């Protein structure tokens, strides 16, 4: 019984034990969240690395396409130079 005559629902020891258990649960949850955060950061780093590799591949493809276009143009110019023009034919 308490000072005012009412029956105590929880003793001080029980309240302390309850809080200690809640604190331990919070520490466990915090640790789990930190582990999950570390896993997510690792996954994000891997994703960024893969994205960087993909960007490099796209840039290489674009350079190759540009070079191929340039080579086609040079070939067409060389073919045009190689053709003998008939001076009797009009230019257009």
Q: Which residues contact 7 (CB under 8 A, 6 or more apart)?
A: 1
Domain ranges (residues) in the chain? 9-81
Place of tokens 């999950």: 36
Report how far residue 65's alpha carbon sits from residue 19's, in angstroms, rounded to the nearest whole number. 68
- Residue 69 in this model has a pLDDT that exceeds 90: yes
- Residue 90 in this model has a pLDDT that exceeds 90: no
**What would the pLDDT profile of 12-68 be if each residue is shown by its tens digit?**
899 999 999 999 999 999 999 999 999 999 999 999 999 999 999 999 999 999 999
Provide the whole-model pTM.
Answer: 0.59
Question: How much is the average pLDDT of 86-90?
Answer: 74
């Amino acid at each position: 019984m308490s000072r005012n005559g009412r029956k105590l629902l929880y003793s001080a020891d029980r309240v302390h034990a309850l809080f200690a258990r809640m604190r331990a649960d919070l520490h466990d949850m915090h640790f789990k969240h930190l582990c999950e955060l570390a896993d997510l950061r690792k996954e994000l780093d891997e994703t960024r690395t893969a994205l960087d590799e993909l960007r490099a591949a796209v840039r290489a493809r674009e350079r190759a396409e540009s070079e191929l276009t340039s080579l086609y143009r040079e070939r067409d110019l060389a073919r045009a130079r190689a053709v003998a023009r008939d001076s009797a034919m009009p230019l257009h």
